Amino acid sequence: MEDQTKACGVNGLFYKCEDGTNTGTCGVILHNKERTLVADLAASGKYPTQHLKDNMDSLNNAKLIYTSAFFITSNPEALMMVAKHASENDVPMGFNLSAVFLIQFELKNVMAALEHADYVFCNEDEAAAFGTS
């Protein structure tokens, strides 16, 4: 995957779990316009703040930052470091609300990240959940 991203001009700085945990997976079922997802976060749930700290040079060079509320389940501390970096360095940040359950159960963390967002992305269900919360 790293070779593919470099060939496209993307410098992917992927974290690899030292214990060999695989990347997350997600099963999707689609029926007409409805969908359901079943996720296994695996390595995604083990993202260490140190990996972000070790790669701050790349973040310092970013012209735009995009992240999602899903990162709250991986490492809210790292998410807030990125969000604060965006604000403090006048880097536009896009934030995706990602899922209704995050708005329902992680509203405090979602709101903290939103304080730093210049652009917010969501679908109709996420917007409705946010509006009622």
pLDDT in tens, 9-53: 778 888 888 898 888 888 999 999 888 888 888 888 889 999 999
Taking the domain 47-133, which CATH number applies? Answer: 3.40.50
Distance CA 77, CA 98 (A): 18
Query: What residue spans define the domains of the chain?
Result: 1-43, 47-133
Q: Are 94 and 67 in contact (CB under 8 A)?
A: yes
pLDDT in tens, 74-124: 999 999 999 999 999 999 999 999 999 999 999 999 999 999 999 999 999
Residues 6 or more apart in contact with residue 115 via CB below 8 angstroms: 83, 87
